[in-house]
Structure 1
């Protein structure tokens, strides 16, 4: 049996289990074996009582019996009222099935939608009537006689009648003939006579009146009013009485829906309301559709997902599931969307959100457009006075659910929105929940939220399915193939890729983790180097964090060799810096985030320092690495020694003293204008001076600058205008001379005048 029957006890005679009943695992069928694959549910009515799912067959049969066994020859008009999509057409079909059991009944279905104007509607009705009568042996010849006078009217809409030929030439002469009251009375008398002689009773079923526009609605009731006096006839009109009363009210009586209802009461002798579909049957139709959509998409829900969906659907969405048509609309929405989001979202929650889109479209749009409110929750405001003011969520619900009662809005918030978006509750959810929700692909995760509204992965994001394939490919690829795979991502997308890999890192095995870590480190030049006042670290920093996550997936005994492999492969050196930064331990990092054991850091520093020194052999660091050079010099010094660095630098500057300007320029940072956000050159600060002094004698640097810039550096000005190199020279000289002055002995110390007076005596 299907999963909905297991959930709601449909397999037990006469029972219906609660929505909390346990369910077995739902296993999707193979898509190749599904004959209905990729087929939407149509809105076609049922054709037989054997298809009845709402217990309406006895109701339809009762109407049919009262019509067929009626002895009074006068006409009667029955109204079958019900909202759109509630199954009125299906009841008419079952009525027709029952009426076919009575030989004296001639059933005629008339569809007013086929006729574009009032004249066409009137002519079409009599054409349909004549066509039906023409099929009856007792009427065939006489029907031809009736049609002779109306041949022109019938030919206008090209109605083909079995056994009856209409002369087009004669019809053309009569096209301008109006459907006057005289002709209607004549037709009525002839039909009355035919029906009386034959013993037949005519039943005319007219459906979909509530789908007509207002003018067409007026026309159909004008037709009924004109023709409802035929003897031995019965009209069954199926429509939404609320819609039709509103349309009629504009023309008849005092106007408004009440005037339209008063007009209906004059035409409808037997008003009947369609019995409402029972909620359990509607639920079963909806859940059968859900299962069908899941099977088509090849999606399997586990027990937890089934519980989440069924509980919150019943609590939050089912009250709005009022007609079979709505259930089919929901099913079709899922059949379209599920293949697009398979593997990219939490399917149980996605089906609930799609339910919101179908049943509460304004609320769905409001959630989509107010992501921060639902993801972060409402600001906690202090109570003012005795009453708490409406919250932001409450105000949004009032706007997004127009016409709903406060009780309905409250139930929506408590029963559906809070389970989907936990932070709108009164409970506190810290940042660690974000990782958990992301792992579950929930809508309350900031990473996954947009996917629920764009039917897949937003532009610039990385598909989970695609990420899985990429990881598998990177693990087995050689060096060149790894680069080819990663270079297919633009630098605009790389931040999302690194974040996606971080989200997946804790689930990788040690082999995959090491392969991904080396691949990312080796291709660091593919990562963007973001700039800006609000940029902290940027993508390359997060890549370093990713690599540390991946290395922690490797057993502790093998981590050092893995870390050395990563650091040895890292390119460019800036990528190596981030690897060294996040693989080694620091005092400000929690012990639980440690990657390597004590003593391992020194080996990494030495390894990286050797790489830096070798790179400097090719070209001085300050020329090839730009503003990364100061940090590289720090790692070089930390892993080897200061003397080696100073010797290299003096060698360069002795040959070309002006190169010192390029070296100092790497220690100048960037600032950002508050108003424009544009970058501006910073000043040389004391911290940068100290960093320079840690690898090369500041006296050597000052002497170089003094030689080239002359006596102006004897009294340098820290702030001045001019070319950048000259400004930096003055700033270095200003700091340097200030430090030198601080280190000189004070005059009073030199002559003893600063000694204690009492001691000098």
Structure 2
């Protein structure tokens, strides 16, 4: 947490960044003028909650107690400290009496003030109140009942005593806006009807809006705002309005606080991020940060919660999300709830929408924000703020029809809230249990690059299997520039590849594709002299040769890769060895998994290299032609599972020619079904049914002159 205490709400007169000292001195000077013109007066220090009113009041108190300013006896009375209206009344007079000069000369005079006090105080509250002699109070009460002195007479004697004061008293009353309506009326009664004594002045500090709300709840105003204001004007003769925080001052406070946090946490903020925050501040946030307290409240939220996420999220995104949580809680709630899918691009319209739909979508979002209780004047700027965080809204704002993948990659690069890999961190105030911290990913890469792969391998493998797409994406960004880490990572990926499958329409991304993308990125980092050992190590795992083949295929398609020959030689070698293991073996004893190496070998080495060898296995009888055809029936993958699809007739034709299969399988083809049901379950028997059916249809088509196949 920061060294600065943003949670502090006490007065801070030593801090005068808002130039309140000059204002406070001006108030004291004005009070001196007031006492020269009036024996008693009520003034008000007025400012909204959080405006620095209490700090300004502390500065005024310091100046009032400075005898160079003419001398005041300051009575600091906080009405909020009393439990009820009667206690407040008694406390008021006790404070007044205790403020009188001490010594024998003033002993009798203090008694007269006490008599006035007992004349107006509730008798039941006198006994036990600190500073009041209960027996004297009772004696005085008895005298009053006996008709010795009237209340007005006692008050007149008290006034005469107070006129003899060398220094006037000033009652400082803060927190009036925290009182109940009844307590507030008691304060005003004391000030207006009882407390207006010579050489007694008042400075009341309050938030005017709150006080008017309280007065409206009493019989004085009976719900009428105008009457409430008229009543206040009768009470307070001179008002001192705390200067509002100027926009430049608010910006200064915020800049100082953010700079202090970025220095403390060693955060590097890009120019792009600075521009995003500046726009959000200018268009939306500034209207909420209008008091010192609002700035401190905002920064306190950032300071308290960012530490657990340092280096795990984007600092500016975190500041913007924290603003929403602090000042627009309904919007914040919806982002983490019902709006999540659309904001992250997981809803169908984001993937399939058209540019022409953007104006309508913008209107719909503005309506959503209104329903989330965003002020009407802030709705448009709130939409722009959200658009700076979430790519789908950025597309709507700028009327893009495509390119969301690029926008998502930019958000991913900065670890923004608008990317699925980082979204939950902003709402969990830490890295969730099903996520892997970016610093952990970086540590893995660093240790792998340093040769500590033995200790790290199990952790990386486990993470890849548990959260394949997200972990793979993060590793993909971090392996660049780490050749040794890439060498050690490839076998881990080959091992993990056996435990992942392709998922159609996956929100988080296909695990299989994620593994292949990461493997490609890692392969590009492997030095030429380590390629053979890296590929050989991959081949020690069940799916290692397949993954190496996919990498080679992607490298050949990458225009930025100039030479793939070294990698190709290594991959072709392991695939050739895999196929060699069953070239002379009965294909019925070869699993479909093993046979897939034939496909990868043909693609990697080229048909001109592989096909003659395969043809020899068919010609010499090692491989049964029907088994070979059956193993070349493709499998379709869908959300409901695997099913058989089509016979790869082009493979049969390229390897041995279709005529070869027509001849060798004539009897089985003749007896085969002309058509088989679509999407048969995967089994050896069904593979043969599909193969023979397709061969029968193709043979019939081939027998027709100039027929379309």
Class of the TM-score when normalised by the shorter of the 2 chains: 0.7 to 0.9
State the alpha-carbon separation in 1 of the partners of residues 518 and 682 from structure 2: 41
Distance 1:389 1:536 in 2: 24
Match for 1:512 among 478, 485, 490? 485
- Alpha-carbon distance change, 420 to 55 in structure 1, aligned in 2, over 3 angstroms: farther
Change in 2 beyond 3 A, CA 1:274/1:92: same
TM-score by length of 1: 0.72
Say which SS state the counterpart of residue 230 (structure 1) adopts. Answer: coil
Which residue in 2 is equivalent to 1:250? 217
Which secondary structure does the structure 2 equivalent of 1:86 belong to? coil
Alignment of 1:221-260 (within 5 A): 221-251=188-218, 252-260=220-228
In the other structure, the counterpart of 1:44 is 10
Q: Give the Cα separation in 1 of the matches to 2:505 and 2:370.
A: 40
Is the deviation greater in 571-580 or in 118-127? 118-127
CA distance in 1, matches of 2:620, 2:109: 118
Q: Is the 8 A contact 2:636 2:645 kept in 1?
A: no
Which residue of 2 is the match for residue 682 of structure 1?
643
Per-residue displacement from partner, 1:430-477 (whole Å, max 9, x unpaired)?
334543443333455554455444444455443322211111122224
Match of 1:209 in 2: 176
1:303-351: CA deviation from partner (whole Å, max 9, x where unpaired): 7766765576456533432111112122222322332332223334433
Partner of 2:27: 63
**Offset, 1:600:** 5.8
Distance 2:370 2:410 in 1: 31
Cross-structure match for 2:73: 106
Q: CA deviation at 1:401?
A: 6.7
Question: What is residue 524 of structure 1 aligned with on the other side?
Answer: 497
**Residue 601 of structure 1 pairs with residue 568 of structure 2:** yes
Structure 1 residue 498, shift from structure 2 partner: 0.7
1:502 has 2:468 as partner: no
Deviation at 1:596, TM superposition (A): 4.1
2:676 counterpart of 1:718:
yes
Match of 1:82 among 40, 44, 47: 47
Partner of 1:84, secondary structure, is: coil
Once the two structures are superposed, residues 584-628 of structure 1 have per-residue CA deviations (whole angstroms, 9 ceiling, x without a partner) of 368xx74515474358636522322313545x69999987966x4
2:547 aligned partner: 578
**Does 1:480 pair with 2:457?**
no
| Contact 1:192/1:231 (8 A) holds in 2 | yes
Which residue of 103, 117, 125 maps to 2:84? 117
Equivalent residue, structure 1, for 2:18: 54
2:465 maps to 1:491: yes
Q: 1:529 aligns to what SS in structure 2? A: coil
RMSD: 5.0
Report the equivalent of 1:470: 444
Match of 1:753 in 2: none
Which consecutive unaligned segments of at least 5 residues does structure 2 have? Answer: 142-148
The 3-state SS of whatever aligns with 1:543 is helix
SS at 2:226's partner residue? Answer: helix
Residues 427, 726 of structure 1: alpha-carbon distance in 2 compared, 3 angstrom cutoff = closer
| Corresponding residue for residue 752 of structure 1 | none
Q: How many residues align?
A: 667
Equivalent runs, 1:18-37 vs 2, <5 Å? 37=3
Residue number among 536, 540, 545 corresponding to 2:517 in the alignment: 545
1:616-631 equivalent positions in 2, closer than 5 A: 628-631=593-596
What is the Cα deviation at residue 209 of structure 1? 1.9
8 Å Cα contact 2:65-2:71 kept in structure 1: no
Is 1:332 matched up with 2:332? no
- Find the counterpart in structure 1 of residue 409 from structure 2: 435
SS in structure 2 at match of 1:60: helix
- Is the 2:42–2:203 Cα contact (8 Å) retained in structure 1? yes
Q: Does 1:274 align with 2:219?
A: no
Task: Give distance in 2, aligned partners of 1:625 and 1:598.
Answer: 30
Local SS of the residue matching 1:592: coil
Would the aligned equivalents of 1:203 and 1:236 in 2 still touch at CA under 8 Å?
yes
2:598 corresponds in structure 1 to 633
TM-score for the superposition, normalised by structure 2: 0.76
Q: How far did residue 519 of structure 1 move?
A: 3.6
* 1:467-504 Cα distance to aligned partner (Å, 9 max, x none): 11111122224553242232442733232111111233
